[in-house]
């Protein structure tokens, strides 16, 4: 009985820590986007990232995705963000976070998708609203 309880506790904490890592990666990326400082973002991204800016979508290596995103952020000059909500995507493999990004150029909707397995960011969508 005691071994069963220990296994349950171990599994529970593993699931909890994985969820924390996913949420942490999303929040950190959003903070970095809002500050237009992506210098620490590379470690939080998958090797390949789907980047969509105003419905112009591409699958890019993470370094190229960061360059393209940084270029756009320099243009719009973000000033802050507010998280709206988060949850699991329909396929249950991705966790998403949605935020409103304020900028000198106006409001944008920001979606960040993290992988369930490792908590790395797999997709970033940014569009003017």
pLDDT tens for each residue of 35-64: 999 988 888 999 999 999 999 999 999 999
Beta bridge partners of 12: none
Number of helices (H), then strands (E), in the chain: 2, 6
pLDDT tens for each residue of 80-129: 999 999 888 777 778 889 999 999 999 999 999 998 667 899 999 999 99
In sequence order, the 6+-apart residues with CB closer than 8 A to the CB of 16 are none
Delineate the domains of the chain, giving CATH numbers in brackets.
2-128 (3.10.450.50)
Tell me the three state secondary structure of residue 106: strand
What does the block give as tokens for 117?
């397995």
Spatial distance between the Cα atoms of 6 and 115, rounded to a whole number of angstroms: 27
């Amino acid at each position: 009985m005691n071994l069963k309880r220990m296994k349950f506790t171990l599994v529970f904490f593993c699931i909890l820590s994985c969820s924390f890592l996913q949420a942490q990666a999303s929040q950190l990326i959003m903070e970095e986007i809002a500050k237009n400082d992506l210098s620490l973002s590379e470690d939080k991204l998958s090797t390949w990232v789907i980047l969509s800016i105003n419905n112009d979508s591409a699958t890019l290596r993470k370094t190229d995705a960061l360059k393209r995103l940084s270029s756009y952020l320099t243009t719009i000059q973000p000033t802050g963000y507010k998280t709206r909500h988060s949850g699991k995507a329909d396929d249950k493999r991705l966790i998403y976070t949605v935020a409103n990004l304020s900028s000198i150029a106006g409001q944008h909707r920001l979606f960040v998708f993290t992988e369930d397995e490792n908590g790395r960011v797999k997709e970033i969508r940014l569009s003017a609203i």
